[in-house]
């Protein structure tokens, strides 16, 4: 990322959506960016695995897990899969697990919490849909920029 989120806001504030500061950093890479792919799931990470098995092409997977704190949607195996397939980051409106191991993986990961419990596997959810959480609406195909100061979203690639 060429500019910090604070600098992006200073230069492009009118164009940006800023997510509410509800996320913590867990991945080994705290600064990341990319075109957004979206998933909407609830306590079921079947579609998360399926998406991360695809080529990431330096994209960011944004997962609306309904804010559930009852189970994790991403663990270390999925984080490794994401890194191997070229994803630059994962944002989870929900929980992750294996946080110590994820911290050692060169991948941006932000979530609202951790929980050791696995998710169920029903294959339910939606892909490539608009998401609404953290006081923002997030569309697939938009661009996400993240660092320790937070997350901003733009409809276009920023310089």
- Tell me: the pLDDT tens digits for 70-85? 999 999 999 999 999 9
Q: Helix, strand, or coil here: 154?
A: strand
CB 149 within 8 A of CB 4: yes
Helix, strand, coil distribution of the chain in percent, nearest 5: 20, 35, 45
Other CB atoms within a 10 A radius of the CB of residue 14 amount to 6
Q: How many CA atoms lie within 13 A of 95 on its CB side?
A: 16
pTM: 0.97
The mean per-residue pLDDT over the stretch 148-154 comes to 97
Pick from 34, 91, 90, 26: nearest CA to 57 = 34
| pLDDT value for 1 | 61
Strand bridging mode 60-64 / 32-40:
parallel
Please write the tens of the pLDDT for every residue from 105-116.
Answer: 999 999 999 999
Domains of the chain: 16-154 (3.50.30.40)
């Amino acid at each position: 990322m060429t500019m910090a989120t604070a600098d992006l806001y200073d230069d492009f504030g009118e164009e940006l959506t800023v997510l509410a500061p509800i996320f913590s950093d867990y991945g080994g890479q705290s600064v990341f960016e990319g075109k957004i792919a979206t998933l909407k799931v609830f306590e079921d990470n079947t579609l998360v695995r399926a998406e991360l098995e695809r080529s990431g092409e330096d994209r960011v997977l944004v997962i609306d897990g309904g804010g559930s704190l009852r189970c994790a949607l991403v663990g270390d195996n999925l984080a490794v899969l994401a890194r191997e397939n070229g994803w630059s980051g994962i944002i989870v409106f929900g929980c992750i697990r294996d946080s110590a191991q994820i911290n050692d993986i060169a991948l941006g990961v932000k979530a609202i919490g951790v929980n050791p419990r696995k998710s169920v596997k029903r294959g339910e959810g939606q892909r490539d849909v608009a998401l609404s959480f953290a006081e923002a609406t997030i569309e697939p195909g938009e661009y996400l920029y993240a660092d320790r100061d937070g997350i901003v979203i733009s409809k276009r690639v920023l310089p």
